[in-house]
Amino acid sequence: LSLDQDEKVHWKRIISCIRHKHNGKLIKIKTKSGREITATPYHSFVIRKDNKIIPVKGSELKVGDRIPVVKYIPANCVEAIDISDYVSENYVVDKNKDEIAPKINGKSIPNNIKLDYDFGYFIGIYLAEGSLTKYFVSISNVDENVLSKIRAFADKLGLNYGEYDNNNGFAESHDIRVYSSTLAEFLSNFGTSSNNKKIADFVFGANKEFVRGLLRGYFDKNGYVDFLKKGVMALSNSKELIDGIALLLARFNIFSIKSKMKGQFALTIPHRYAKIFYEEINFSVEKKRDELKRLISNLNENKTYDSIDMIPSIGDALTKLGEKVGYPKVILKKFERKQKIGRATLQRHLKRIEALAPDVLALKEYWLLKKAVESDVVWDEIVEIEEISYDKKYVYDISVEGLETFTTFEGVLTHNTMRTFHYAGVAEINVTLGLPRMIEIVDARK
């Protein structure tokens, strides 16, 4: 996933993946939304300057600079998978029936399984509160709406299940055990305990309905509406799971903030994205759904300040646009002075300018700012840069066609270091990396 000058992300072909030696410190960068990225000091990043995307070495970054984090991930859809690709050799496929079962005893299930909403929901609820044994998958929940979805999924696969009331000493609970060793082994790809739960790789390319179901299942149990923070929250013992959920939310153009809370990893969907969450994901649990609806009804979208989703380095484009269409200069000048403006604020001013001057579509400043408003990234502020020791021998780099940018698992878009690069449309930028570049070439040839 790569960022272009149009500030949109696109799927790009990987040209090479290179491993090379590194001696010395690395830099660890933390952003306001809770993202992190670690790189060599001479690794290049991208920033926004005068409405253009330009490269900069990591050693030149400073606190307060803003780097891109993916806000929207376009579809790259996988419609179905073969369960046999995700279990051990202890399971065998009956090709005539396209079913898979244990070699010794055990009920079969479909091998080629469609990635639909129901399957996604079951995985989501497992990620939130499921556990495994060798022979069954257990889900704990007391909401009848959720329980009925689990039963329907088991029936769909023709699997037996049992239900049990239990009291773990804290609260009354209800367990459903779905009996299938094949299903249990498949779900181990999503982790087996609260500390190591994660999103299996194929999910990131799965079709949207499957992802929608997974997210709803997860938030039905682990999500809640926080009226104090004015957003939707979820907690987990697994950082990798929270990172994965954040990326999946980006499939729906929902940006989230990551933090730590009471020893757990927290994910917050800010107020600005609560309405999108309501329309695209929502809750099955009636109480939570009503609380989310109440949160949205109490929000004034024109007065909600967002300190994270700010568009930096707008140059004089906004004031020049205002001058050309007769928009009050005093309103826009402060944004030129600060060199940042909230996405929603900029969008509001552009709508007013469109109404004031219908011929604004012919002006280049309008399109520069429109591009920023409709970008697929959030320009996330750097809040900390620290040098850290690195006790391993190698570092890695990815070369991608086009503008040479690629996305990390944290959602941070960074730049390839291994190649001399030139940005299309920015003729004055042609970056080489001196001695580190020469050393890397030699190491790569080895």
pLDDT at 428: 41
- pLDDT for the residue numbered 224: 96
Phi then psi dihedrals of residue 126, to 5 deg? -65, -45
The answer to whether 232 touches 225, Cβ cutoff 8 Å, is: yes
Condensed to tens digits (0 to 9), the pLDDT of residues 364-386 reads 999 999 999 999 999 999 999 99
Which pLDDT value is given to residue 400? 87
Residue 290's CB: how many other CB atoms inside 10 A? 12
**Does the structure show a pLDDT above 80 at 417?**
no
Range in 58-72, 112-126, 360-374, 395-409 with the lowest mean pLDDT: 395-409
Q: Is the pLDDT of residue 170 over 70?
A: no
Report the alpha-carbon distance of residue 251 to residue 74 in Å, rounded.
6
The string of pLDDT tens digits covering residues 72-103 is 998 778 999 999 999 999 999 998 999 999 99
DSSP output for 12-62: --EEEEEEEE--S-EEEEEETTS-EEEE-TT-EEEEEETTEEEEEEGGG--
Distance between CA 164 and CA 181 in Å, rounded? 19
Q: With b meaning 16 or more CB within 10 Å and e meaning fewer, what string describes 306-343?
A: bebbbbbbbbbbbbbbbebbebeeeebeebbeeebbbb
Average the pLDDT over 334-355 and give the result.
93
Q: Does residue 417 contact residue 43 with C-beta atoms inside 8 Å? A: yes
CB 370 within 8 A of CB 349: no
3-state SS, 393-428, equals CEEEEEEECCCCEEECCCCEEEECCCCCEECCCCCC
Residue range 388-395: average pLDDT? 87
In this model, does residue 438 exceed pLDDT 70? no
Mean of the pLDDT values across residues 272-281? 94
Alpha helices in 43-136 (DSSP H): 117-129
As a whole number of angstroms, the distance between CA 358 and CA 353 comes to: 8
The token pair that represents 342 in the structure block: 């909230």
The torsion angles phi and psi of 295, rounded to 5 degrees, stand at: -60, -45
Mean per-residue pLDDT, 246-251: 96
pLDDT tens profile 179-198? 999 999 999 999 999 999 99
Per the DSSP assignment, residues forming a β-bridge with 27 are: 39, 387
Q: What is the mean pLDDT of residues 345-352?
A: 93
The DSSP secondary-structure symbol of 392 reads S
Which uninterrupted H or E stretch holds 101?
A: strand 99-102
Name the H helices within 157-264: 181-187, 208-222, 239-249
* pLDDT over 90 percentage in the chain: 70
Check: pTM over 0.85? Answer yes or no.
yes
Average pLDDT over residues 290-295: 94
8 A C-beta contact, residue 217 and residue 129: no
| C-alpha span between 205 and 199 (Å, rounded) | 11
